[in-house]
Amino acid sequence: AYRSDEGAPYVLPCVREAESILMGQNLEHEYSGIAGDPDFVKLSLEFVYGTDSKPLIEKRVAAVQTLSGTGGLRVFGEFLARHGHKHIYLPNPTWGNHIPIFQNAGLEVRKYRYYDTENSDLDYDNMISDIKDVPEGSCVLFHACAHNPTGMDPTMEQWAELSQITKDRKIMVFFDCAYQGFASGNAPQDAGAIRMFIEEGHNLALVQSFSKNFGLYGQRVGALSVVTANDAEKAAVESQLKITIRPMYSNPPRHGARIVKTVLSDPRLTNDFIDQCKGMADRINDMRIKLRGTLEEVGSTHSWEHITKQIGMFAYSGLKKDQVLALRDNHHIYCTLDGRISMA
């Protein structure tokens, strides 16, 4: 989670203001519907797809509120397993929780190459090669921005090629969007790959998390959406998503969704959120520059260029397990055994 310079959890001022507004409304605590707060869901979709998105205008996006990104991933995993999918393709490496989430949903996890550890860069040629070998009709998961754990994203030109390949092979594209606005500080830019795929005619699936960009880690706020062909298919997909959700957690919590809804429905608070989210992203990017600069200043002969090429909360340092353990044991500097460092 993002921390202040004092190491304390950071609450966005716009979130504090939204909470004050909600406190003054004397709201009740009735259950949400199975699909959650419809106004929150509508605003979430506009946030990621854009208000001018053709599928939104044509009202053919099936969507539900979820238990943040993790809950949305699990719901869609079970949805896939219920409707004929036996496997899902994930980048290697990926967020560690992706693997058990989809395995527990009943899917075989397969991987495509993503990162070149020797050169600390995107392994794009091998990624393309593996995607071309994916069986037609399979589901492939992409990180929409700020790939976790590597922080290395495809360029827009590379995304365009991936869009064409997946479309030609009738692949079901599933985006995990956990860092919109928090990666670059520009929410539309961070959704660029998603919007490109939509413009090129993909009927994709998407899970959103509001944990990082709104700092609502403990509120479990998210949304799951599926772009469909028409209104009838939208209704059928939403029905099946609700059938999946009902025995799993029945309905989502309300408070965090109310906070996001309060902010995104108010133009002034939305502008405040944009500025405050950019402030977090800029601070993380500044930390990257300082880390690389300090390592170079003290005489390290290793190339640290990848630290500033990466984006998002994490730096995939390239440190080996023995080096990580040496840092931990000798200097009390902590990161995961694969060398992932939190820059937040």
Residue 176 bears catalytic tag = yes
- In Å, how far from its chain's centre is CA 67? 13
| Cβ-proximal residues to 109 (8 Å cutoff; 6+ apart), any chain | 87, 88, 90, 98, 99, 102, 103
The rounded distance, in Å, linking the Cα atoms of 150 and 153 is 8
Strands (E), the chain: 61-67, 87-92, 108-113, 115-116, 121-122, 139-143, 172-177, 205-209, 221-227, 314-316, 340-342
**Looking at 37, 212, 261, 304, which residue is catalytic?**
212
Residue 86 bears catalytic tag = no
**Looking at 37, 123, 153, 176, which residue is catalytic?**
176
What spatial distance separates the first Cα and last Cα of the chain, rounded to whole Å?
7
Nearest residue to 325 via CA among 333, 313, 317: 333
Q: Are 166 and 202 in contact (CB under 8 A)?
A: yes
Active site (catalytic) residues: 95, 176, 212
